[in-house]
Structure 1
Amino acid sequence: MSSHPRLDSYLEEWKNSTTHAHLAADPDFNSSLETVLAGSEYVLAQLERNQALLDALIDGELILKPRSQQQMDDSLAEALSEVDSEDQLNQVLRQFRHRHMIHIIWRDLGMSADLNETLESLSALADVCIQQAARVHYKWLVEKHGVPRDENGIQQHLVVIGMGKLGARELNMSSDIDLIYTYPHRGQTDGDRSLDNETFFTRLCQKLTQALNSQTIDGFVFRTDTRLRPYGDSGPLAPSFDFMEIYYESQAREWERYAMIKARIIYSEDGAGQELMTMLRPFVYRRYLDFGAIESLRSMKQMISDNLKMKGMRDNVKLGPGGIREIEFIGQVFQLMRGGRDPELQIRPIQQVLERLAEKELVPHAAADDLLQAYRFLRLTENRIQAWRDEQTHLLPEDQEGLQRLATLMQFDSVSAFIETLSMHRNRVQQQFEALFNADTTEEEPEDAPLARLWRNAIDDEQRIPLLESIGCKEAQAADDAIRKLQESRTLHAAGPRGSDLIAEIVPHMLGLALPLENSAETIERLGLILETIARRTTYLALLKENISAMQGLVKLLSASPWFVHWISRQPILLDSLIDPRQLYQPLTRADLKEELEQQLVTVSGDLEQEMEVLRQFVATNRLRVAAADVSEIVPLMIVSDYLTEIAEVTLEAALDLAWRDMTERHGKPSDTGDGYGFVIIAYGKLGGIELGYGSDLDLVFLHNSSPNSMTDGKRQLAAENFYARLAQRLIHIMTTRTPSGQLYEIDMRLRPNGNSGLLVTSLSAFEKYQHNNAWTWEHQALVRARPVAGDPGLVDSFATIRQKILCEERDADALREEVIKMREKMRDSLDKSSDDCFDVKQGRGGITDIEFIVQHMILRWASQHPELCQYSDNIRQLESLDHSQLLPDQWGERLSGLYRALRAHAHRSALMEKKPIVGIDQLAQERKLVAEAWQLFMLE
């Protein structure tokens, strides 16, 4: 770097200094010193004014290592301990800031610190100055006016929110700091010269701002901007929490959501700040995938693009093309749209955001890597620009000498090499920025597009059918009837201006997707039901407009099954799931289900009503994933049931956790439960048999193992039996109560000992006794398909032992067969819907239930001699066990498994089509014949 007289003079004086003679002769130190002083006129000026600053840094060996925030805090607290006037406070703060800025710049320009250390150190410096200045001024005001208290006499403290780069702990070398001041509750101070809290905190914030921002002979601490507060300059400087909540719920604009992403509590003495952030989080991160905000974000993007055309922007590394602001905008768009459903995106530092987006494949890894590299390069460049004179500028130097200095500090041999690399990074950012909102969006429908004109009734009636036929519609008349019905919908006409505009844009696209389908008319009718549901909910209409993949997915699913109409109409939030086909058609594994549900519940922890909503949305979303994969034939039937069963199990586990939490908070837990629940949920029927369908209810039995005289250990004690009864009631309430998102599952408890007349929760010993002495044969049949699905691991093992013992009891073969046949005939008489023209796939003679009864009879008949038959609860693996034990001759094991799968597939498809599992008498004839043969072979001979 080139030299200049002031620098040469200072270096000469330094070399002749005897204070640190050993360093003055050290070529490495002198090289670092020259680099720093040549790169920062600000540092040179400060050292010229006060050589003691450098001496202090050297003596404390601070040049060699970073300073933690705690070290800074301790140092400033000590320096302020004797301060008793504003002038003294301002002087100490500014000298403290100079000392630490020299330290940070030295390490940055000398390449001792990486970018992250520099940003963190600058942010920590600002935090410490804000906190210490706030404490001092609060103390002085309290001495003058008394302690501010709310109506209940509780002391009130200031809360300071850091926004922007300070909030994200990404402060640059000469950044201003954006602050929002607030306090919890209204009230007044308790001193002789009492003030209301609003006046007290307004004065405090004025003093704090002056302490940081005012220019004195010693300079300033941080340029402070408070215009991001509610209503900006026209709003109160220090609003209360209530004021903040009302404003952000009803008045805040979309850009304020964008700004709040980086908000961080800088100062809060009593933890009230976290309470505020929890309150504001729903404003920033909506629970639905927020495409209703996309137009505001698009406008913000356009504003950024327009600003690029302003004079001088080409040389602005922050606001210019491919600059820092564009990188931050890209990351924050994804956070705003998806952060409400994915708490892992609710983070502040942009580097972490970009890494997280790549991990979640929301941004290609290569693109995220380009953005990260560009961000680091641009921020280093920005810091070195600002380190020169401690000025808030983002412009490249205009003179060749300044450019050469910057290039050298950025480790380049020439200006041209530096500019070439800078341009490369900015071009990559610009490409990503321009691509934002362009991928995966619908193109604007031309005004003269045929389907758009048809929807507007802008073509003659006689042209409608030929138009539909010309685009491949095979049932043009029926499809046209469905379109006319939709055009006449009162609900769509009442959608309001915004809704009507969106409907006019998306319906032609939907028709273009639906008309070529085999069942186009039926599909259009189903689309109409969805549109009527969301007609006044423009967020969902906007979602479909902005995502062609979502629209394609919706049409595909509605064409496949009316089941989707029912669920999406009831919970439009499911439309979010249609956006990413990779996620939609790939159901989650059990581990992923647990992780997803845990993440979603964390965002509403402690609010049972919202937790119940989360459970319902979780089940609906994942059930939709399974159904989408099912109708697309991506997964086979048996795997579909596995997925649906795992969804129910994970949900039951979570619901039990919530019920346990609420009960133990009130009553404590039974004293003899140890670390567990002392409670277990036993699944029977389809859940027990891992054969859950889309509309299946859950057959459950609840057991506990508390001793008869056990009590809970809380303040409001309960007998353990009463505790578990209430726990079960709470669990059923969580599972079955209808909320705005509907019901989780129907719960059937009739298989518990003594049925509806029995206790809701049975002790393990009483259950075992009942099964040995009082249970009917059909109850032992039911036990064949029973298994634990949630609760205490110890009870899971105990139940398995009891089940094994009961199923392995020696039974009279003839009496057993007679009981099973009698029960089957009884069921057939009351449930079979077969007739001369149709066959009931489930209950008809030769249907699913016949196979299930054969298997249950065989296990009860042979388990005493073959205990391995009790290992599984699902029909297919039970058949495999019977076959492996050579109890099913002549390939009957494999044959019955195939028949069972085929019959279940028909019943399953009927459920998806919302039809009863009944087929024409000529269908499944061969399957029915073979099942009847098996019944004759295993049950009657």
Structure 2
Amino acid sequence: MTPGRRSSTFTRLLRHGFTDPSAAERLLDGPELGPVREDPVLLEALGATADPDLALHGLVRLLEAQDGPTGHRSLLDTLIAAKPLRDRLLGVLGASEALADHLARHPGDWQALVTYEPRDLHPGVAEFERGLAEATDPVSLRVAYRRCLLSIAARDVCGTTDLAETAAELADLATATLRAALAIARASAPEDAAACRLAVIAMGKCGGHELNYVSDVDVIFVAEATEGTEEAKAISAATRLASHLMRICSETTVEGSIWPVDANLRPEGRNGPLVRTLSSHLAYYQRWAKTWEFQALLKARPVAGDEDLGREYVEALGPLVWKAAERENFVADVQKMRRRVVENIPVTEVDRELKLGPGGLRDVEFAVQLLQLVHGRTDPALRSGTTLDALQALAAGGYVGREDAARLDEAYRFLRTMEHRIQLYRLRRTHLVPEAEPDLRRLGRSLGLRTDPVATLNREWRRHGGVVRRLHEKLFYRPLLDAVAQLAPGETRLSPEAARERLVALGYADPAAALRHLEALASGVTRKAAIQRTLLPVLLGWFADSADPDAGLLNFRKVSDALGKTPWYLRLLRDEGAAAENLARVLSAGRLAPDLLMRAPEAVALLGDGDGGTGLEPRGRAQLEQEILAAVRRAENAGQGVTAARGVRRRELLRTAAADIIGSYGTETSPAEADQGALVDRVGAAVSDLTAATLAGTLRAVVRAGWGDTLPTRFVIIGMGRFGGHELGYGSDADVLFVHEPRDGVAEQEASAAANKVVAEMRRLLQLPSSDPPLLIDADLRPEGKSGPLVRTLKSYQAYYRRWSLVWESQALLRAEQVAGDDDLGGRFLELIDPLRYPRQGLTEESVREIRRLKARMEAERLPRGADPKLHTKLGPGGLSDVEWTVQLLQLRHGWEVPGLRTTRTRAALAAAREAELLSAEDAEILDEAWVLASRVRNAVMLVRGRAGDTFPTEPRELAAVGRYLGYGSGHAGDMLDAYRRTARRARTVVEELFYGDGS
């Protein structure tokens, strides 16, 4: 070939889409490919394929495999003369390296592509059965299967069939293959075949008539005994047949394997028997099946074996499928399963996952199945196992907007076609979009994207994925808004009954009220209504993910009524990604946080992304004190000053509660995965700092109002109990001691009068009825308890502790810490009590017995009548009291010699005791876990009920909300209670040894 001619061929090859024209030239240079090189029609046909280089290489291999020059020439002549064959064969060779390999091994199989008649366009099961009829063993079945697959792929890449038709043909071929495999299995074991009736039920994509090129074929086996055969013997025979069928399809032969047959969707999964009778199946689904198992049965279809038995199976289980939406937490269960699938995708693959990732195929399928299960109970038209058919029926029935359905249909077809073409290349089961440019180029061209195929493919893929992501939630929730909106005449809308069905499935106990709220929020032509119509579909999803969707929607309406005309509110929800979700979580998590928010709705601003996303970070004590003291200085009187301080406290309580809720509810973390200790510490520190700052501001306000800048006596507030330990919960009182010391030249009587007046006024102002939550000051831990004076001088405390102090007071003083007032006086008070709480000689045995006796009496007297001790977080076995008294006993005994024990914080003291080997690391971990869990439960109860409590709620929704806070999904309240009992029981065992045992 002359250089000029070579240059011309090179140019032609480039023009026809070859990426390696030099290699193509070398292949075409051989005499056997002369007709191809000279024929513009053949070159043009190669250039029309997804990968011309791949197609040419496959054609060369196929020609080389033909039977001598005659066969070689016959194939070329046929290609040149017959355009349908040319398009089909070259199309397959340019799209599938695996099918090119098959043709090279079986060079006569190209003739399966010659026929081009109308009846050949859409073959069904019968035609495929004829194509597999001669297969008598796994090897020949594999070859025949690939030959049939070749014809399906040819119709697909040439556009003769669309996505839905291709998927249906693949399912029909799988059906014919299962039948052929069962026939081979029965022929090899005629006695087993005679002993049982065996039906094969297709599940998943095969059952839904929408199979991939390469996919596990999901099945369930059901069997009955034939007349005169015992049931046990029949089930054994059926199990052998089913196992043989699975091996025939799954085993690797010299021709490879067909596909794995997966029976793990059967009752009890891989742990259950492979084959069951119909009555056994029915019993399982009636008593034990989970929500996802009914969802899977949507696609159940008898495909092989005994037709009557298969039909009986589907008819018997069908009614159960359409009752699944009546199950408690139905929607939450389905959505949780979807989230779990996404969470299990490796981080490095999630952006390439075509099927399972966000905006992938599974999002469409889950959304459609969810709607089918909700509305298919009353509308049989929705009961299709095929995703696109079901989507069309949902649109026709008004359950989905027609425009949304059309866009979702288009996106699903595009993504499924991508999946098909990715799998077709090497016939491997994958859902990952390739990364290499040649693979992306071939993929894009196979989809008809010829201009800059890589960039166009990526753009179209992202566009369709974005459509799915946006419509995934909207598909379920948007029609609820349309049901209450004023639509144009003739537009399809969700009927009121269907809207109520959907709301009930979402967990709304009062769907009529929910529809009224939606109407109030979404109706009208105002900017507010327009933005809320955009936000509500996703908000409804977040509300449904909570334990009380009704409360979430009602609270959102209240907030929107209060702030809807405020421009920043709508802008915040629309533009700041986290704000809307955070608001939804807070509004549906219980009573406390919404109550705090309703008292000052403008605090919604805390939930946004502003300030670098730190809006929910707790503020430190110094920062809080600075703000509160500045507000007190600006106030005209003590009342106004304390009102300002209480307002800051309310806002900061909301900040802390919101951060706690979002941290606990925002992810589906299991209790084992969440750092619950960090969550407890965060709340305890934040609420304790806030309480200290509030008391400091209140003290300043009262002193300024009564005495100006200087009180006649130095004054300090000592935090006690959980307050001193930085462990306050949302509903905790502030345990304190008040200490004063007359200033020079001031009579003690005058100083005491001033100090008592300060205390009385502080308590009064902090408890005045207002929109802000009260702060209760409890001084019962003072010397002589309730019968003793509220305030004492430092000298009085010194005299009392020297003469009258009891061991329980030393124990109480372990938590003492200055929280407000005169720093010098506070420091001297702590120096005074240190020898009491960290005695140099430790404790006498008599003191130890007294502590044990006091604890027993407290539990006997204070445990509420009728309460279950095992679930009482404070006084029950393994609860807060058990852990704290055990730790405090260690502090009293060893605090003098172990500096780390000189802390007011329970967890820090426990860690120090472990470090000093006063208890084992395992025992310390058990006690820490129990203390943290009990504290979390108490915080949860306050958040959910709006009032403090030491035991789990009995009302189901409240109990579910506590479980949700603790990391348990819907329907798992029993697991939560079992886990608490188990944790507390382990802790009690340790307490018995350390607190009550001889070696404690």
Bin the TM-score by the shorter chain.
0.3 to 0.5
TM-score by length of 1: 0.45
Q: Which has the larger radius of gyration?
A: 2
